[in-house]
C-alpha cells in the first residue's frame, strides 16, 4: 500500500510538471534534472549512510521502492516545477506561491515517509529537514539560472 501512495505522489508531480504552460527550454530541464538527481542522491547518502541521522527501512521491498519513488521522481519533479515556474515568471506573487508549494509539499511527503516507516529518524529533526529543503531549493534555482545562461550563451535556445 505504501508504494502505491508514493507512486500516486510521483504521478501527480510529473503531471504538474508536464502541464505547465511556460517551461524552461528542454536542454535546461534535462541538465537541471541530472543536477537535482546528483544533489538528492548525495544528500540521501551523506545524511542517511555517512552521518546516520536517519535509517532507511530496507527490510521491506515496498518501503524501499517508496523511498526510490520519493527521491528519484517526486522530489525531483517538484523541484523541476519550482525552477520552471520561478524562472519563467516575473510576478512576485507567483514566485512566492510556487516557493510555498514546493517547501510545504516536500515537508508533507517527508512526513509521509516517516508516518509509513520508510524512514526512521536517529537525530534528524524538523529544523534539519526544513533547512535541507531550503538549501536544495536555492541550489536548484542557482543551477537553473546557470544552465539557462549557459544555454543562451551557447546558442542552444532559439
Nearest to 35 by CA among 135, 140, 132: 140
Write down the domain spans for the chain: 2-9+27-150
Task: Tell me how crowded residue 136 is: count the other CB atoms within 10 A of its CB.
Answer: 19
According to the model, what pLDDT value does residue 119 have?
Answer: 93
Residue 13 has pLDDT above 90, yes or no: yes
CA 46 to chain centre: 16
Rounded to an integer, what distance in angstroms lies between the CA atom of residue 73 and that of residue 35?
13
Q: Give the pLDDT mean for 87-111.
A: 97
Chain segment 115-135, per-residue pLDDT in tens? 999 999 999 999 999 999 999
Amino acid at each position: 500500500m505504501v508504494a502505491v501512495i508514493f507512486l500516486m505522489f510521483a504521478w501527480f508531480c510529473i503531471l504538474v510538471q508536464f502541464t505547465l504552460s511556460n517551461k524552461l527550454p528542454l536542454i535546461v530541464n534535462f541538465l537541471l534534472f541530472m543536477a537535482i538527481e546528483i544533489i538528492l542522491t548525495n544528500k540521501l547518502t551523506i545524511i542517511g549512510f555517512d552521518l546516520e541521522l536517519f535509517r532507511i527501512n530496507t527490510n521491506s521491498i515496498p518501503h524501499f521502492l517508496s523511498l526510490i519513488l520519493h527521491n528519484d521522481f517526486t522530489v525531483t519533479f517538484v523541484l523541476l516545477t519550482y525552477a520552471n515556474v520561478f524562472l519563467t515568471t516575473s510576478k512576485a506573487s507567483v514566485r512566492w506561491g510556487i516557493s510555498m508549494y514546493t517547501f510545504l509539499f516536500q515537508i508533507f511527503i517527508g512526513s509521509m515517509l516517516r508516518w509509513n516507516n520508510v524512514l526512521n529518524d536517529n537525530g534528524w529533526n524538523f529544523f534539519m529537514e526544513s533547512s535541507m529543503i531550503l538549501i536544495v531549493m536555492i541550489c536548484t534555482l542557482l543551477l537553473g539560472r546557470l544552465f539557462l545562461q549557459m544555454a543562451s550563451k551557447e546558442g542552444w535556445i532559439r
